[in-house]
Amino acid sequence: MTGIHIKDLRLRTVIGANNWERDVLQDVVISIRFRYNAQKAEMTDRVEDVFNYKTLTKRVISEVEASKFNLLESLVNHIYKIVKENKELQNVSVTVEKPNALRFCDNVIAVKSDEDEDK
């Protein structure tokens, strides 16, 4: 199994429950981790044999930029479901950060992972 980490994908979306938050695009930072069987790609070194994480990233970008969630928890769950549509991916973990969401705080971070689903 090979691990992939798509780290710090920076997007803008409508996120938040306050009225002012519904009128402006805000920054979110998304990281996605997963493992998959890359044995064939490792042997052939051919793009055709690897999981296409560029396609996954484009889908996440499209979905997030078009979304309007009140809660960070809902957004992280939405992205997690997108990633989980790819049945060959295991040990999936999605992290969404909302910088400056709270005063005196760098980030509020929501995490959804396969570990959460196993409970």
Residue 112 in any domain: the answer is no
Decide: helix, strand or coil at residue 77.
helix
Beta carbons of 98 and 104 less than 8 angstroms apart: no
Q: What is the pLDDT of residues 7-65, one digit of tens each?
A: 999 999 999 888 888 888 999 999 999 999 999 999 999 999 999 999 999 999 999 99
Q: Per this entry, what is the length of the chain? A: 119
Residue 115 in any domain: the answer is no
Beta carbons of 34 and 79 less than 8 angstroms apart: no
Structural domain total, the chain: 1
* pTM, full prediction: 0.90
> Phi and psi (nearest 5°) for 115?
-60, -40
Residue 100 in any domain: the answer is yes
Residue 114 in any domain: the answer is no
Q: What is the pLDDT of residues 66-100, one digit of tens each?
A: 999 999 999 999 999 999 999 999 999 999 999 98
Sign of CA dihedral 58, 60, 95, 116: negative
From the CB of residue 34, how many other CB atoms can be counted at a distance below 10 Å? 25
Residue 56 in any domain: the answer is yes
- Containing domain of residue 68, as a range? 2-106
From the CB of residue 10, how many other CB atoms can be counted at a distance below 10 Å? 10
Residue 96 in any domain: the answer is yes
Counting Cα atoms < 13 Å in the Cβ hemisphere of 38 gives 18
Residue 116 in any domain: the answer is no
Residue 93 in any domain: the answer is yes
Query: For the domain that residue 100 is a member of, what is the CATH number?
Result: 3.30.1130.10
